[in-house]
Structure 1
Amino acid sequence: MNTPADVTDSPATLMVIDDHPLLRRGVRQLLEVEDDLTLVSDTGSPHEGLAQALEQEPDMLLLDLNMPDLDGLALLSRLRAGGYAGRIIMYTVSDQEDNVVDALRNGADGYLLKDMEPEDLVHQLRQAARGQMAISDDLTGLLARALRNQRPAGAPAGLDALTRREREILRELAEGMSNKLIARELAITEGTVKVHVKHLLKKLGLRSRVEAAVWAVQQGLAPDH
């Protein structure tokens, strides 16, 4: 397997925040046999998880949506407000459109359903560790429909609103590429990529790079893996 240039030999670190002990144990056992993914901690308390995540700064968080005292969306917002910059993947039984869209718009980097096969979970976590989207296959169409329905009135209808460079960057977003990898691929600075992403989101009436990536896949701009 080829390893992207910006991925080091060190395993990606993961923390699980979920109030179901059996699930946490299952994820731990699943990752014990993986060399490139390491579970560094897990907790059933969202408040404890918030403190640990901000202190330990793992590469990724696997975060339950429905927890007592503090739900996953509220915890997600607190993590981002507190400065946590790692990947946050929602892991839940809910496939409700509002939950999916709200999570991604509030800073989640992915949304996975708990009924997925264990090997698919590992694959998605690897994708996330490489800066790519982590979206359950069953949710891609749902998310695209939600984005079409919620796009502001008057927003440009399609790709013709974008410049050639913005289309190039959107294509890379659809492949799940991070800003750093896009900059390297197109031989431009990461700051320039950020500016282009901001502009294309505004033109398309979207709010996040994840939304843009899913929309682009639905438009046939990149293969849907």
Structure 2
Amino acid sequence: MSESSATLESATLMLVDDHPLLRKGLSQLIELEDDLEVIAEASSGAEALELAKQHEPDLILLDLNMQGMDGLETLKAMREAQIESRIIMLTVSDNDEDVVCAITYGADGYLLKDMDPDQILDKIKEAALGKMVISDKLTHILAGAIRKGDNSRTSLLASLTSREHDILKQIAKGLSNKLIARELDISDGTVKVHVKHILKKLGLRSRVEAAVWMVNQN
């Protein structure tokens, strides 16, 4: 693969779930991989918030339905606290509203717990490499939610600069800012500024929305 230079050098993970058995199962699954390491576990949203600040993991696997502070509240609080870890929802809920809400609040992916363990592991690796991950059967939900504003957005595409077009295409491939910067030979900071402008111009709330919308244009 051309991205061999971007293979995992050992990504750190935090597991957030109020079911100890599930955390243990996930942890054991992840431990089988040399390039993935669980460095923290949390059983509540409040605990997760503190541990995320303390450990700064590369990736956070976050359950949606937790007692007290649920996954969406935790996600929102983490993003408001400027936690830059990639956050992947791992849940049993395929509710349309939950999916759209999670992406709006800044999740980098949404996986269902009923996926095959090997599939979950593959998706975790993709996420750790900076790619957007979402369970296949959920993409239509996002596409449907985003399509509501499509007509106006299609004409807004014309307002993007050629560099913004290039970056939007890379976002559609699910690449992170770091990988886009490497691909286009520009700095991470420059990519970050462009992404902010793209989202504002298209009236989209997150890069995942932008990716799904762009894919549906083709």
Alignment-derived partner of residue 198 in structure 1? 196
Shift of 1:185: 1.5
1:2-81 residue pairs with structure 2 within 5 A?
3-7=3-7, 9=9, 11-81=10-80
Query: Equivalents in 2 of 1:39, 1:188: separation in Å?
Result: 32
Q: Which residue is 1:130 aligned to?
A: 129
Distance (whole Å) between structure 2 residues aligned to residue 52 and residue 77 of structure 1: 15
Residue 169 of structure 2 is matched in structure 1 by 171
Aligned residues: 218
Counterpart residue type for residue 60 of structure 1: L
Q: 1:19 is paired with a residue of what secondary structure? A: coil
Q: Give the letter for the 1:135 counterpart.
A: I
Number of the residue aligned with 2:216: 218
SS of 2:87's equivalent in the other structure is strand
CA RMSD of aligned residues (A): 2.1
Q: Please report how far the alpha carbon of residue 3 of structure 1 lies from its aligned counterpart in structure 2 after TM superposition.
A: 4.9
Unaligned runs of 5+ in 1: 221-225
Structure 2 residues not aligned, in runs of 5+? none
Aligned to 1:111: 110
> Given the superposition, is the C-alpha separation of residues 171 and 152 from structure 1 closer, same or farther in structure 2, using an over 3 Å criterion?
closer
The amino acid across from 1:115 in the alignment is D
Distance 1:197 1:171 in 2: 11
Deviations 1:168-199 (A, max 9, x none): 11111111112222122122333332232222
Identify if the C-alpha distance between structure 1 residues 88 and 189 changes in structure 2 by more than 3 Å, giving closer, same or farther.
Answer: same
3-state SS of the aligned residue for 1:5? helix
Moved more, 192-201 or 208-217: 192-201
Corresponding residue of 1:98:
97
More moved, 165-174 vs 39-48: 39-48
Post-superposition offset of 1:162: 3.0
Residues 53-105 of structure 1: CA deviation (Å, up to 9, x unaligned): 21111111111111111111111122222232111111111111211111111
Identity of matched residues, %: 54
Displacement of 1:137 in angstroms is: 1.0
Secondary structure in 2 matching 1:126: helix
Counterpart code for 2:99: V
Structure 1, residues 137-179: CA drift from partner, whole Å, max 9, x if none? 1111211111112x38844446444332222111111111122
Aligned equivalents of 2:158, 2:95: Cα separation in 1: 31
1:142 aligns with 2:141: yes
**Whole-Å Cα distance in 1 between the matches of residues 109 and 119 of structure 2?**
14
Any idea what SS the aligned residue of 1:89 has?
strand
1:45/1:12 Cα in 2 relative to 1: closer, same or farther (>3 Å)? same
Distance in 1, Cα, partners of 2:12 & 2:71? 20
User: Equivalents in 1 of 2:169, 2:151: separation in Å?
Assistant: 24
> Any idea what SS the aligned residue of 1:169 has?
helix
Aligned-pair CA distance for 1:128 = 0.8
Deviations 1:90-121 (A, max 9, x none): 11111112111111111211111111111111
Cα distance change of structure 1 residues 164 and 83 upon mapping to structure 2, 3 Å threshold: closer
Describe the shift of the 1:95–1:158 C-alpha distance in structure 2 as closer, same or farther (beyond 3 A): farther
Do 2:15 and 2:60's aligned partners in 1 also have CA atoms closer than 8 Å?
yes
Supply the distance in 2 between the matched residues of 1:117 and 1:92 (Cα, whole angstroms): 13
- Determine which structure has the larger helix proportion and give its number: 2
For the Cα contact (< 8 Å) 1:152–1:205, is it kept in 2? Answer: no
